[in-house]
């Protein structure tokens, strides 16, 4: 038997698969690892963060993640617990996921950190300490590529001594020219900050704090709204193949931009798709194509699993694998539950507006923010709109033309020449009610 060579080449990892991800998403991959360390260390499930109380715990200081992004280096340092020596030696530098059960929540494929390191620069330095033990790795990637072996030198160092200080620091230097160029152009730290704010609303300030170039990142939750007794959101739940799915679709509160509208998709609490309004979530195929009149539409789809490999995310965690069975099932429901909301938003713009149109517009404008967990805790139901009850009219106008002669007759009769026409109207009506009508 003859064989064709099918060997792995290091260049594939250092030069090829780094092309399919943005610089910003690479940094987010490193942040994912920090968050994951914290979750694993404290045994926190993503369900607790999404559906539990606010996720904070006074007895558990939040992990701090600090990101530095300059033309010279990108550094992500955290106090999230550190990486154990066995994982460092046997797992984290391997390409592909470990066979052992996945303990992490946000790490699935075993590519994120390596891809980020290779994408960003030629030199990286990792120091990680748990309370008990630590390790250090320094590598020049171009030298490593030349070598035959698929291994990386590692040095064991002392632990951090305290749980509070335990953490990992990753520093990448000798940035690749194109990466340095992009950072020089400006905007990258801002992008990372904005991306992180919208990607980690269920983690930031609940279990970790994040700081980018000395600026704190505040979470930006997915905007969902309702109006008490008038606008009620749709929600659905199901489980498939170990993935728990919760879907909510509703009207977003406040003034919305087209960019913010659409579906948000969470995988284990991490936002992987933001404001989607294309075929991925049914727009333009099962639903109408997106138009600005739908800009108040907001949907949130949460996929959660103890085994992150079962989630429908792509390796960049910025997209969805359309061939995922659980996503295919969810997508049908997402499109279906959106339809009544689109009809409702459509009805704001009829060919001839009525008072009902004003009610509908009022309802859209009047929705206020509601938490995902509050909607998700209810039994599944469809979107509903109930027109607000009309206030019963207590008064109405009486307006008519009367002859000057008859008005003067009344003035003479009551001997009050200064009465205005309006006074006369009121006087005569009161008189009629008093003298001719039965008492209430």
Partner 1 sequence: MSETSSSYRVQYDLRPAKQVERRMIIDALQRLSTAGFPITDYQYTGFGAIYFVDFILFHKLLGMSRLLSLEQEPSLISRVEFNKPFSCVDTRMFPASSEIPNLSRDIQHIVWLDYDGVMDKSFLSDIQSAMTILSPGSVLLVTVDVEPPEDYDYKEVDPDFDSSKKVLGPKEWKDYFEYHASSFLRLGLSEEDFGKSKLVLRSAEILRAAFTKSIVARPELEFLPMFHFVYKDSHKMLSMGGMITGRAEKRQLRASTLRDTVYYRDTFDAPPFEITVPRLTRKERAYLDRQMPCADGWVPDEFVLEAEEVRRYSEIYRFLPAFAEILL
User: Using CB under 8 A as the criterion, which residues of the chain lie in contact with partner 1 when the complex forms?
Assistant: 234, 240, 285-287, 325, 328-329, 331-333, 335-337, 339-340, 343-344, 380-384
* Smallest distance from partner 1 to CB 233, Å: 12
Query: Toward partner 1, which CB reaches closer, 39 or 265?
Result: 265
Q: How far is the CB of 318 from partner 1 (least distance, A)?
A: 24
Nearer to partner 1, 350 or 362 (CB): 350
Contact 347, 357 (CB under 8 A): yes
Name the token pair of 128. 């990680």
Q: Cβ(219)–Cβ(197) under 8 Å?
A: yes
Strand ranges (E), 87-207: 121-129, 133-140, 155-158, 167-175
| Residue 332 or 362 having the CB closest to partner 1 | 332
Do residues 265 and 301 make contact, with C-beta atoms less than 8 angstroms apart?
yes
Helix (H) or strand (E) holding 68: strand 63-69
Which CB atom, from 234 or from 267, has the smaller least distance to partner 1? 234
Angle at alpha carbon of residue 165, lines to 45 and 308, rounded to 5°? 25
Compute the least distance from the CB of residue 216 to partner 1, in Å: 41
CB of 249 to partner 1, least distance (A): 10
Cα–Cα separations (whole angstroms), residue 51 to 62, 199, 222, 278, 376: 19, 17, 14, 28, 8
**Minimum CB separation from partner 1 for residue 251, in Å?**
14
DSSP symbols for 412-429? HHHT-TT--HHHHHHHHH
- Least distance in Å: CB of 328 to partner 1? 5
Distances from the Cα of 404 to the Cα of 106, 128, 407, angstroms: 85, 97, 5
Smallest gap from residue 314 Cβ to partner 1 (A) = 20
Q: Which is nearer to partner 1, 160 or 375 (CB)?
A: 375
Rg of the Cα trace of the chain?
32
**Quick one: 313 or 383, whose CB is closer to partner 1?**
383
Q: How many CB atoms lie within 10 A of CB 12?
A: 11
Q: CA triplet 216, 221, 222: central angle to 5 degrees?
A: 145
Q: How far is the CB of 329 from partner 1 (least distance, A)?
A: 5
Q: Is 323 exposed, middle or buried (0-12, 13-18, 19+ CB in 10 A)?
A: exposed
Interacting residues of 414 by C-beta distance below 8 A, sequence separation 6+: 427
Nearer to partner 1, 175 or 337 (CB): 337
Q: Strands 225-226 and 155-158, how do they pair?
A: unpaired
By beta-carbon proximity to partner 1, the closer residue of 132 and 240 is 240
């Amino acid at each position: 038997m003859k064989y064709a060579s099918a060997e792995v080449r290091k260049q594939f990892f250092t030069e090829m698969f780094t092309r399919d991800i943005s610089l910003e998403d690479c940094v987010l991959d490193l942040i994912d690892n920090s968050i994951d360390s914290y979750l694993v260390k404290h045994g926190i499930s993503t369900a607790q963060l999404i559906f539990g109380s606010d996720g904070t715990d006074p007895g558990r200081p939040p992990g701090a993640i600090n990101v530095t992004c300059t033309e010279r280096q990108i550094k992500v340092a955290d106090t999230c617990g550190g990486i154990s020596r066995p994982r460092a030696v046997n797992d984290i530098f391997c390409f592909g996921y470990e066979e052992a059960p996945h303990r992490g929540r946000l790490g699935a494929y075993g590519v994120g950190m390596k891809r980020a390191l290779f994408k960003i620069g030629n030199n990286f330095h990792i120091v990680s300490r748990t309370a008990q033990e630590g390790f250090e790795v320094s590598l020049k990637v171009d030298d490593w590529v030349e070598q035959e072996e698929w291994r990386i030198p590692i040095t064991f160092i002392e632990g951090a001594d305290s749980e509070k200080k335990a953490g990992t620091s990753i520093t990448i230097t000798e940035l690749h020219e194109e990466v340095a160029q992009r950072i020089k152009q400006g905007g990258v730290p801002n992008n990372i900050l904005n991306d992180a704010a919208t990607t980690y609303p269920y983690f930031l300030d609940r279990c970790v704090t994040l700081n980018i170039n000395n600026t704190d990142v505040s979470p930006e939750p997915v905007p969902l709204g309702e109006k008490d007794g008038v606008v009620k959101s749709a929600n659905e739940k199901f489980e498939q193949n170990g993935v728990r799915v919760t879907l909510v679709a509703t009207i977003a509160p406040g003034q919305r931009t087209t960019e913010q509208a659409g579906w948000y998709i969470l995988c284990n609490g991490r936002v992987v798709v933001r404001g989607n309004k294309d075929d991925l979530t049914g727009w333009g195929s099962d639903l109408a194509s997106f138009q600005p009149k739908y800009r108040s539409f907001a949907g949130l789809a949460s996929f959660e699993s103890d085994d992150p490999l079962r989630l429908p995310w792509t390796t960049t965690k910025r997209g969805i694998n359309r061939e995922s069975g659980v996503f295919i099932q969810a997508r049908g429901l997402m499109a279906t539950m959106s339809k009544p909301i689109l009809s409702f938003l459509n009805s704001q713009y009829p060919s001839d507006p009525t008072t009902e149109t004003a009610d509908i517009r009022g309802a859209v404008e009047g929705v206020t923010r509601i938490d995902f967990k509050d909607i998700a805790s209810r039994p599944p139901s469809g979107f509903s709109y109930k027109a607000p009850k009309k206030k019963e009219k207590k008064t109405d106008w009486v307006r008519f033309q009367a002859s000057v002669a008859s008005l003067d007759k009344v003035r003479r009769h009551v001997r009050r020449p200064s009465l205005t026409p309006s006074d006369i109207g009121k006087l005569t009506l009161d008189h009629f009610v008093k003298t001719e009508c039965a008492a209430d």
